[in-house]
Amino acid sequence: MSFSAIPILDISLSKRPDSKPAFLESLRNALLDIGFLYVKNTGIDHSLIQDVIAQGRSFFELPEGKKLEIQMKNKPSFLGYNKLGNEITAQKTDWREQIDLSTPHPLPGPTEPLYHNLLSPNQWPDPNLLPLFRPVYEAYMSAMSTFSRDFTSLIAEALHLPRTAFDRFFDEDQQHKLKIVKYPDVASLPAPQQSQGVGPHKDSMLTSYLLQVPPHAGLQAQNLSGEWIDCPPKDGTLVVAIGQGLEALTLGVCKSTTHRVLSPPAGSGARYSIPFFQGVSYDATFESVDVPPEILEMRDARMNVRGGRIDDVEFTFEKGRWAHLGEATLTNRIKSHPDVGEIWYPDLLAKIRPEQAAT
């Protein structure tokens, strides 16, 4: 019982009484069996999506010095620009260039928990060079914030829960994050045999929504047999990945699926993508929702058929390991960006390195 293709769900079907039950059944099966899906007819304005793509491409065309003015290690928030080869996943270099943004937040106060450093203002590129960049991305993050909350409500309904079942895990001014990513083709890399665009990983928090810019493929999801299944770009869709936080909150009903990106082949040019990451309160603890018995029975029946899961990534959100989700998130960010850790979190980095060396 291992998937070989990624399903496509039509969001418009969730808005009609006659088609909503079948939509929720398809969504429930995708959550239980795959944890990865395409969605279409999202309601996000097509012209906004085109502006997002155009402004993202324009950012990477800026002079190197202008991009480095807002590099991530300037701040403890893990927001900002990362040059090529400056991030690590699965203890290997990711060959991608990127900028991390979030929905707006002020600087945290001096008495707030250390992980509240993740709640901070963005580092924006020079508006004299890219005057439309900030308004376009603020508009897109606002639209995606609304869409992701609506989709999470549909997930709740698919699990026979109230639409508001996950609301208590969100802050009133909940932070959501976004990356704009450029994957150079392998001929542009320092060592062409290195083809890890981003290594095997599972997304954190609840749900992620990937805007893939055609025509480049490279995204792959790992099924329960350990096989890698291609997830090529499809016009008018977003790819939804279920996060580890949602798997934990639903007692394993919603699968968090390992995925990776392969660098584009030589001569094909760069691949671009814009993933949006739905956040959850960093102050949340490792409690769960009251999943109905009939849904837990569906989970158990599937587990009995397929046996153990085979993937390449440890599960982060284990009860007893962390007091709050923010602690786990901060630790993961330091692992991925040790250059930021060296400057802003040297004590935590010193604890993390022996753990990594032992794995």
Tokens read off for 334: 């330091």
**Over 70: is that where the pLDDT of 319 sits?**
no
**Cβ–Cβ < 8 Å for 78, 118:** yes
Could you say which DSSP state residue 125 is in? P
Side-chain-facing half-sphere of 65: CA atoms under 13 Å: 0
pLDDT, residue 151, reads 98
**Cβ–Cβ < 8 Å for 41, 10:** yes
Q: How confident is the model at residue 94 (pLDDT cuts 50, 70, 90)?
A: confident
Q: How confident is the model at residue 287 (pLDDT cuts 50, 70, 90)?
A: confident
Following DSSP, what letter does each residue of 285-343 receive, concatenated? -S------HHHHHHHHHHHHHH-S---SS-----BTTBSSHHHHHHHHHHHH-HHHHHH
Cis check for the bond before 215: say yes or no (omega within 30 of 0): yes
Of the candidates 346, 269, 294, 274, the residue with the CA atom closest to the CA atom of residue 73:
346
Per-residue pLDDT tens digits for 158-183: 999 999 999 999 999 999 999 999 99
Query: What is the residue whose two structure tokens read 């699965």?
Result: 90
Per-residue pLDDT tens digits for 189-235: 887 677 789 899 999 889 999 999 999 999 999 998 889 999 999 99
Q: Which residue has the higher pLDDT, 246 or 309?
A: 246
Tokens read off for 109: 């106060």
Within the chain, residue ranges assigned H as helices are 20-33, 46-60, 64-68, 133-158, 244-249, 293-306, 325-336, 338-344, 346-358
Tokens read off for 210: 């990937």
pLDDT, residue 87, reads 80
pLDDT, residue 313, reads 47
Indicate the residue type of 320.
G
Rounded to 5 degrees, φ, ψ at 110 are -65, -20
Of the candidates 250, 238, 241, the residue with the CA atom closest to the CA atom of residue 221:
241
Per-residue pLDDT tens digits for 222-262: 998 889 999 999 999 999 999 988 998 999 999 999 999 99
**Over 70: is that where the pLDDT of 310 sits?**
no
Spatial separation of the C-alpha atoms in residues 237 and 46, rounded to whole Å: 11
* Strand partners for 212: 273
Of the candidates 243, 324, 276, the residue with the CA atom closest to the CA atom of residue 175:
276
- The residues, any chain, with a CB within 8 Å of residue 191's CB and separated by 6 or more, are none
Tokens read off for 35: 């944890």
Q: How many percent of the chain have pLDDT more than 70?
A: 95
**Cβ–Cβ < 8 Å for 249, 190:** no
Q: Is 160 left (phi over 0), alpha (psi -120 to 50) or beta?
A: left
Per-residue pLDDT tens digits for 43-75: 999 999 999 999 999 999 999 999 999 999 999
Q: How confident is the model at residue 118 (pLDDT cuts 50, 70, 90)?
A: very high
Q: Which residue has the higher pLDDT, 78 or 198?
A: 78
Lowest mean pLDDT segment, chosen from 3-17, 75-89, 192-206, 307-321 = 307-321
pLDDT, residue 309, reads 53
**Over 90: is that where the pLDDT of 147 sits?**
yes
Once rounded to an integer, what is the mean pLDDT over residues 99-103? 98
CA angle 96, 140, 181 (to 5 degrees): 5
**Cβ–Cβ < 8 Å for 166, 289:** yes
**Cβ–Cβ < 8 Å for 74, 80:** yes
pLDDT, residue 317, reads 60
**Over 60: is that where the pLDDT of 1 sits?**
no
Count CB atoms within 10 A of the CB of residue 122.
22
Indicate the residue type of 157.
E
pLDDT, residue 312, reads 47
Per-residue pLDDT tens digits for 20-34: 999 999 999 999 999
Q: How confident is the model at residue 92 (pLDDT cuts 50, 70, 90)?
A: confident
**Cβ–Cβ < 8 Å for 257, 2:** no
